[in-house]
Amino acid sequence: MPDVELTTAGRKPRSNAWQTAITVLQEAAPPAIPAGAHAMTAVVEFPPGDPGTPPHRHSGPAFGYVLDGEMLFELEGEPARVVRAGEVFWEAGGDVIHYQDGNNRDDMPVRFTVTMLCEPGKPMLTLVDEDELVRRQNRRAPSGTGPVHGKVEGR
């Protein structure tokens, strides 16, 4: 059998497929990780056209992957962008406001998975109040599509 090696037990053949089975989707400079953080992985699904979670922040970094559909993603200081199925996103967490994570499509749901490194004793997500949004509006990228949600790229 070509490209097959025996395991250490010598019983089951093992292919060399494992050598090319991994595709790196994203690498990020290590963000600040809260002391004693724990990891939480969740699947989030929003119906067609749903604006998603109101502006919020996370206590630690979050890393995600869009499974189906298109997410409209906007972080403080960055323009809104569309993250499509098979694409990744991340945010440093902490003080940065996450403005948008809603569905960019009106004709299909969006589903994504996210792994967050959460600070002990703090919720994994904290909503940002209107007063703070007003005080920090100068930190929002000029191409932001609105305070809650907006379609981009023709959707």
Question: So what CATH class is 33-139?
Answer: mainly beta
Closest CA to 70 of 108, 100, 41: 108
Domain boundaries, the chain: 33-139
Note the pLDDT tens digit of each residue in 7-53. 566 667 888 888 899 999 988 887 788 889 999 999 999 999 999 99
79 pLDDT exceeds 90?
Answer: yes
